[in-house]
Amino acid sequence: MRICVILEGCYPYVTGGVSSWMHQYIQAMPQHEFVLWTIGANSRDRGKFKYELPENVAEVKEIFLNDALTMAFHKKRYKFSDEETAQLRALIECGNPNWDTLFHIYHDNHVSPIAFLMSEDFLEILTNICREDYPYTAFSDLFHTVRSMMLPVLYAIQSEVPKADVYHAIATGYAGILARLGAYVYRAPFLVTEHGIYTREREEEIIRAKWVVPAFKRMWVRFFYMLSMGAYDKALMVTSLFERASQLQVSMGCGADKCRYIVNGVHYDRFCSIPYKKPDGWTDIGAVLRIAPIKDVKTLLYAFAELKRRVPNVRLHVCGPEDDEEYAKECYDLAAQLKLQDVEFPGTVNVLEKMQEFDFTILTSLSEGQPLSVLESFAAGRPCVTTDVGCCKELIGGMTGDTLGRAGLCVPPMHREAIAGAMEYLCTHPEERFQMGQIGKERVRKYYLHGDMIQNYLDAYEEVFAKWRALGSA
C-alpha cells in the first residue's frame, strides 16, 4: 500500500511532538510505502530535514506557502459559470464552498489565483461583501485581508498531487484540503488524524494575534473552520487521540459515524528499564518540549523561581529545540533576569539518556493533544506535573475504567502558584512521588503501547478501504 501523509509545519522539518510520532509511525510500517506531502510557511526550509527519512519513504513533495507570492501572473481571462461564481463567493465569505468545484477551476483548469484576485469578478464579489458585512471598514483592509487568506489556499490546490492508494492528513487546515484534493485527483479514499483540534488552536492564536486587524478576527476564525469542514465533509474517517477531542470534532460539524479516537502509544520497553537517579540531595525536574509560546516556558520559569524560594535544592532541565528563536531568547533572558542559576537549556537531548537525571517531569503547555513526553515519562516511572489541557487530566488520573490512581498532578494552565505548589509537593514527598511513577508506568503498559497504536491505525486503513469499496459498488 502506498500511503500519502500530508503534514503541515512539522515532520520532517522540526523535532519532537507530532514529528517524533510521525517518524516512529512510518518506521513501524515497513511493509508499506509512504509519500510525504509537506506544507511549510517559508521556502528557505526546503530540504532542511531534521530526520534521516526511513527507507520506506519513497517521495517527498514540498509546498511552501510563501511561494504563492512569486507565482506568475497570467492575464488570460477565464469565464466563470454562475455555479463557479457562487462557490468562489462562498470561499471568500468563508462559508461552505464546494471544494470539488474549486479543484476543477484551479487544479484541472489551472486558472491563475493571482489573475483572479486582481480581476473584476473578485472585486465585484468583494465589493458586495464589504457593502453587506463591513460597511464601516476600509475596503483596502478587507481587500488585503481576503487576499492573504485566499492566495495560499488557491496556490496549494494548484500543486502537483503525488499518487497514492490512500491520503492521510495529519491535521485539518491546509493538510486536510490537500488530502481531499488527492482523493479528488486519483479517486482514492482519505482520512484525517488530529493530534490537537486544529481549528481551536488557530482560533486561540488569532484571538491573541496582534497582526490581525480586530474587525477581521472573526473572519480569520471562520476561514480555518471552513478548511476543517472541507476535510471533515468528505473524509471517510476522522480520528483524534481521546474521546473528548472526538466529541469536539462532532460539535464542529463532523459526522459522528466517521469519528474514532486512537490513543497514542510509546515504546514502553525502551523506557521501563531506565535506572532511577541516585539520591544526591537535589531534586531534578525535566521539561521535555519545544521552546515555543504554546509550551508556556515563561510561566514555568516564573513558577520555578517561586519554587526555589521554598525548596532550594532543586534543578530544572528545559530540554528541547528552539522552535521559535525570538521566544527562546526571551526565555533565556527571563531566566537570567530571575537569577535562576539552577536552570539549564541543553537543547535537543537523547531522552532515554537524559531521563536518568530526572526525579519527575513537567509540562506547562497552553494546548496539547496527548503528549508523548508525558507517556515517555510515565513509562520510565517518572510522575509528571501537567496543565489541564488536551487529555492531560486523563493521563494523570486515568480514563474511565482505569482505577490505578494518580500518576502526577494536574493544574490550571498559566497558574504560576498552582504550578509551583505542584512541583513543591513532588519535591517534598519522595515516597508518594515514587508511587505515582509506578502508577504511570503501569498505565502506559496497559493502555498506551506503541504496537497497539500501530495496529489500530492499520485496522483504520482497512476500515477506510472497506467503506471506499462499498461506496464504489453502491
Range in 280-284, 289-293, 446-450, 469-473 the model is least confident about: 469-473
Verify that 110 and 126 share a domain, yes or no: yes
Verify that 175 and 293 share a domain, yes or no: no
Spatial separation of the C-alpha atoms in residues 465 and 35, rounded to whole Å: 18
Which residue would you say has higher pLDDT here, 72 or 367? 367
Query: CATH no. for residue 319?
Result: 3.40.50.2000
Residue 472: inside a domain: no
Contact 259, 249 (CB under 8 A): yes
CB atoms within 10 A of CB 148: 14
Residue 221: inside a domain: yes
103-148 pLDDT, tens digit each: 999 999 988 898 888 888 899 999 999 999 899 889 999 999 999 9
What is the b/e burial string over 82-102, where b = at least 16 CB atoms within 10 angstroms of the residue's CB? eebeebbbbbbbbeebbbebb
Verify that 243 and 307 share a domain, yes or no: no
Verify that 196 and 130 share a domain, yes or no: no
Would you give the DSSP letter of residue 267?
A: -
Residue 86: inside a domain: yes
Q: Average pLDDT of the chain?
A: 94
Verify that 255 and 309 share a domain, yes or no: no
Residue 435: inside a domain: yes
Give the residue from 209, 229, 261 where a domain finishes: 261
Verify that 42 and 191 share a domain, yes or no: yes
Range of the domain at 395: 268-448
DSSP string of 316-341, one letter each residue: EEEES--SSHHHHHHHHHHHHHTT-T
What is the count of structural domains for the chain?
3
Instruction: Map grid coordinates 464601516 to a residue.
Output: 136
Q: Give the pLDDT score at 205.
A: 87
Range in 79-93, 295-309, 354-368 the model is least confident about: 79-93
Verify that 310 and 391 share a domain, yes or no: yes
Mean pLDDT value across residues 21-47 = 96
Whether the predicted pLDDT of 376 surpasses 50 = yes
Q: Give the pLDDT score at 74.
A: 65
Q: Give the pLDDT score at 350.
A: 94
Give the residue from 261, 291, 326 where a domain finishes: 261
Residue 474: inside a domain: no
Whether the predicted pLDDT of 356 surpasses 60 = yes
Residue 465: inside a domain: no
Contact 336, 398 (CB under 8 A): no
68-105 pLDDT, tens digit each: 888 766 666 778 899 999 999 999 999 999 999 999 99
Mean pLDDT value across residues 237-244 = 95
Mean pLDDT value across residues 36-58 = 96
Verify that 288 and 423 share a domain, yes or no: yes
Give the residue from 211, 234, 261 where a domain finishes: 261
Verify that 129 and 256 share a domain, yes or no: no
Verify that 7 and 61 share a domain, yes or no: yes
Q: Give the pLDDT score at 73.
A: 64
Verify that 137 and 172 share a domain, yes or no: no
Verify that 256 and 143 share a domain, yes or no: no
| Proportion of the chain above pLDDT 90, given as a percent | 84
Q: Please report which confidence band the pLDDT of residue 474 belongs to, taking 50, 70 and 90 as the band edges.
A: very low
